[in-house]
């Protein structure tokens, strides 16, 4: 206690100096935007960059995390009030809406910046201060430079990525600056490595910097409205923390997994399985699952991805009449990747921090669920002259109707689920051997089948359905394309506007994982 009190006493001047420095940044930003009409984007990003540099030096002049935590809390409170009352407009303008005469738009980046810093102070201060410094510096400096370059000299926009424009020039800046800062940080902080990164060669550290630079660039490219302020440092900190907690061979697996995920994303664009946003999201998901989970987690995911992607391309002529019914086509975007793989992604992260084998069964359950849902839709619409019934009333409905089920589609759902379990059994996952092959097939098969019925139930009850006045059909799409090329809003006839196909798919994936996990927990296998 005496040591803590002494450290707090020594840190008090640094605490007040830090607060004064932050206040000075804010006041200067407001002065420059109000009096000198300098672009709010430029000013805000300079403040953003400066804060990243200040935070980098925090562990050097604070002896404990008490005052840094207090400063982060105060900044968090200040930014929350500023978002509510708009005291300092220079902190609220979004990059894409910072042009002259454009209204100031609230950004939650100023709130997420101190929040992620606070979380890292609480969890990493005692063990890995260098991770805090590295992740916050990359976020503060590289994200700012990417926005400045993209808004000032960016000419080539990346299509089908996000609703907010992203440029090749901005993303390239993000990648190069991240690569430089990460490489420099690894070389400078290598004496402080204590676990899996200890005694790692310079070549391997540079390879890690290259992969993490790609990861941060992908995160920045996909996220807007300040969300990247949170997820860029979280992504870096998560990877570095896991690498420190494992053996050096884990680094090699992570690098190979990241390379494989990158090649898979490029391949998916080439064969039009995914658009740019879907490929970017797949790269991030694949790097996590391939690089951290290894073969046991990779093969089931690839089974779903390849079989479902190929199936969605088959019977294209027969399924063409449903293209305007379904919300999205066969070329998947980031939203569909999150909906189908987001739960699996989260389960991989949970397992990496807990090592609970029951999570693996939940993982197979969620993959079985999304495979069952995909196969039910694809086989149900490809089958010649099928009949479909609404899952809630068993009233006959046209094939392709949300909530409709058919015998071919339901059979395909169960078969698809079995393929997921078979892929894990083929590679001899020990946990499935312990549970029993037959029991595993039944558990994963029925988890997927029941989850697909959950998907149909939500599709029949709360998923939004619209009437297309141009083609006089019921559709999942909010707008239709008129013959003159203009967009026409479709009329909501059923469900809730916020509940779209991606959300229903997410609920399907969640139900499959929950069922498998609950059963495994109740049999007390592990």
CB 363 within 8 A of CB 297: yes
Residue 459: C-alpha distances to residues 296, 454, 463 (Å): 32, 8, 5
- Quick one: how far is CA 463 from the chain centroid? 23
Helix pair 437-461, 358-382: axis angle to 10 deg:
60
Q: What is the pLDDT of residue 316?
A: 57
Evaluate if residue 219 carries a pLDDT over 80.
yes
The conformational region for residue 226 under phi > 0 = left, psi -120 to 50 = alpha, else beta, is left
Specify the pLDDT at position 96: 43
Dihedral angle, C-alpha 296, 302, 308, 314, nearest 10 °:
-140
User: 494 has which bridge partners?
Assistant: 465
- The CA distance from 376 to 302, in Å, is 19
Q: How much is the pTM?
A: 0.89
114-128, 252-266, 339-353, 463-477: least confident range: 463-477
Residue with tokens 């498998």: 516
Q: For residue 468, is it left (φ>0), alpha (ψ between -120 and 50) or beta?
A: beta
Average per-residue pLDDT for the chain: 87
State the Cα–Cα distance between residues 239 and 69, nearest whole angstrom: 23
pLDDT tens-digit series, residues 12-37: 999 999 999 989 988 888 888 888 77
Q: How does pLDDT run across 84-102, given as a tens digit for each residue?
A: 888 887 777 544 443 433 4
């Amino acid at each position: 206690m005496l040591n803590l009190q002494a450290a707090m006493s020594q840190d008090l001047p640094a605490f007040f100096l830090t607060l004064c420095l932050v206040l000075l940044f804010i006041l200067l930003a407001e002065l420059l935007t109000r009096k000198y009409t300098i672009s709010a984007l430029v000013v805000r990003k300079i403040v953003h960059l400066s804060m990243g540099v200040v935070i980098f030096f925090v562990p050097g002049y604070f002896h404990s995390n008490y005052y840094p935590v207090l400063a982060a809390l105060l900044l968090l409170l200040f930014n929350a009030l500023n978002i509510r009352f708009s005291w300092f407009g220079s902190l609220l303008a979004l990059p894409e809406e910072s042009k002259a005469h454009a209204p100031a738009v609230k950004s939650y980046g100023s709130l997420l910046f101190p929040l992620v810093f606070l979380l890292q102070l609480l969890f990493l201060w005692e063990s890995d201060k260098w991770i805090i410094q590295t992740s916050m510096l990359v976020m503060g400096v590289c994200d700012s430079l990417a926005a400045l370059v993209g808004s000032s000299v960016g000419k080539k926009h990346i299509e089908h990525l996000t609703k907010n424009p992203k440029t090749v020039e901005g993303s390239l800046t993000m990648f190069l600056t991240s690569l430089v800062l990460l490489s420099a940080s690894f070389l400078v902080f290598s004496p402080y490595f204590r676990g899996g990164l200890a005694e790692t060669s310079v070549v391997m550290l540079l390879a890690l910097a290259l992969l993490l630079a790609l990861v941060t660039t992908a995160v920045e490219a996909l996220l807007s409205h300040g969300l990247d302020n949170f997820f860029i440092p979280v992504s870096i900190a998560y990877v570095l923390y896991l690498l420190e907690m494992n053996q050096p061979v884990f680094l090699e697996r992570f690098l190979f997994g990241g390379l494989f995920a990158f090649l898979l994303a490029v391949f998916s664009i080439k064969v039009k399985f995914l658009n740019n946003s879907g490929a970017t999201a797949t790269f991030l998901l694949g790097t996590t699952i391939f690089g951290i989970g290894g073969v046991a987690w990779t093969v089931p995911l690839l089974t779903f991805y390849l079989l479902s992607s190929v199936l969605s391309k088959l019977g294209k002529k027969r399924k063409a009449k449903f293209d305007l019914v379904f919300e999205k086509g066969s070329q998947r975007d980031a939203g569909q990747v999150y909906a189908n793989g987001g739960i699996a992604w989260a389960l991989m992260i949970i397992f990496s921090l807990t090592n609970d084998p029951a999570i693996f069964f939940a993982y197979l359950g969620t993959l079985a669920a999304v495979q069952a849902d995909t196969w039910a839709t694809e086989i149900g619409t490809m089958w010649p002259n099928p009949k479909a019934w609404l899952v809630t009333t068993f009233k006959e409905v046209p094939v392709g109707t949300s909530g409709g089920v058919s015998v071919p589609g339901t059979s395909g759902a169960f078969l698809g689920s079995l393929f997921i379990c078979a892929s894990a059994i083929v590679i001899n996952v020990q946990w499935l051997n312990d549970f029993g092959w037959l029991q595993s097939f039944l558990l994963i098969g029925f988890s997927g089948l029941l989850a697909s019925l959950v998907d149909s139930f939500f599709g029949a009850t709360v998923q939004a359905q619209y009437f297309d006045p141009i083609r006089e059909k019921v559709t999942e799409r909010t707008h239709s394309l008129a013959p003159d090329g203009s967009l026409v809003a479709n009329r909501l006839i059923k469900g809730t506007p916020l509940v779209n196909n991606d959300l229903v798919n997410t609920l399907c994936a969640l139900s499959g994982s929950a069922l498998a996990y609950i059963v495994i927990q109740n049999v007390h296998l592990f």
